Amino acid sequence: MMMAGTLYIVATPIGNLEDMSARGIRILRTVDYIAAEDTRRTRKLLSALDIHTPLTSYHGHNELEKGEALLQTLVGGKSIALVSDAGTPGISDPGTRLVEEARGRGVAVVPIPGPSAIVTALSAAGVPTTRFTFVGFLPGKRSRRRVLLTQLAALHHTVVLYVAPWDVAKYLPEMEEVFGDRDVVLCRELTKVHEEFRRSTMRALRVWATREKVRGEITLIIVGEDAG
């Protein structure tokens, strides 16, 4: 009886390529295939690391059809490394469904830990981290966003979320209305040349965002009202 292959969940750098682990590099070099959220971005990473493993796409728009093909490959005994654009697959990125299905079919799933914007931001923001809630990206629809923000405002611990740079100025007035003038930390371009940690009140950050053209990847931390 043929043994199933292994699905490796490989974390990749969120900015600085030196953050790629030696174990991650070894796995990417030795698997049969690499399934990537965006093959163009991953190809640049592989080129920088001198890795020539065959690359295939796996993203939110083809996860059903392509996922089944990947599962058949794994069941057939081949090994696959799953990577996202940056950070850890399955964390606000495609991967959860594939992992669930792989485990259901007896395929070994092995995590290769590494960079994550959530942990990176929290580790250097200087905020309480004993408990925190991560919500990923907020809903695009205003009414749904308001419901979620209201639920989060009832929490007393740190809240972490991702915000696209073009949404910062739009979302901050809504957040201030719901959360009040809590302390926040805007973490931008983590591990990159223009890395920035901007700590202020919600109101001050809103005023700043109306004057500035916000660029880069944003992780926003809202400090719990009972934190100190």
Q: For residue 74, give both structure tokens.
A: 């794994």
Does 144 have pLDDT greater than 70?
yes
Q: Which CATH class is domain 117-222?
A: alpha beta
Q: Residue 96: how many CB atoms within 10 A of its CB?
A: 12
Confidence of residue 225 (pLDDT cuts 50, 70, 90): confident
The predicted pLDDT at position 6 comes to: 97
Q: In which band, very low, low, confident or very high, does the pLDDT at 2 lie, cut at 50, 70 and 90?
A: low
For residue 228, is pLDDT > 80? Answer: no
| Per-residue pLDDT, 59 | 87
Amino acid at 144: R
Enclosing H/E stretch for 85: none
* Mean pLDDT of the region 198-220: 95
Residues 6+ apart with CB under 8 A from 9: 82, 88, 89, 90, 95, 99, 109, 110, 111, 112
Q: Which CATH superfamily is domain 6-112 in?
A: Tetrapyrrole methylase, N-terminal domain (3.40.1010.10)
* Mean per-residue pLDDT of the chain: 94
Q: Is 87 left (phi over 0), alpha (psi -120 to 50) or beta?
A: left
Residue whose token pair is 């292994």: 6
Distance between CA atoms of 222 and 157, rounded to whole angstroms?
A: 9
Predicted pLDDT at 14: 96
| Comparison of pLDDT for 47 and 61, the residue scoring more | 47
| pLDDT of res. 63 | 78
Confidence of residue 39 (pLDDT cuts 50, 70, 90): very high
Question: Tens digit of pLDDT for each residue in 66-123?
Answer: 889 999 999 999 999 999 999 999 988 888 999 999 999 999 999 999 999 999 999 9
Q: Which residue has the tokens 């796409």?
A: 57
Domain with CATH 3.30.950.10 in the chain: 117-222
**Dihedral angle computed from the Cα positions of residues 138, 142, 148 and 149, in that order, rounded to the nearest 10 degrees:** 90
* Cα distance between residue 168 and residue 15, in whole Å: 21
As annotated, the residues of the chain forming the CATH 3.40.1010.10 domain(s) are 6-112
- pTM for the full model? 0.91
Residue 198's φ and ψ, nearest 5 degrees, are: -110, 105
Tell me what pLDDT residue 65 has.
83
| Crossing angle of the two packed helices 168-179 and 202-211, in degrees rounded to 10 | 160
3 vs 179: which has the higher pLDDT = 179
What pLDDT does 1 receive?
54
pLDDT reading at 137 higher than 70: yes
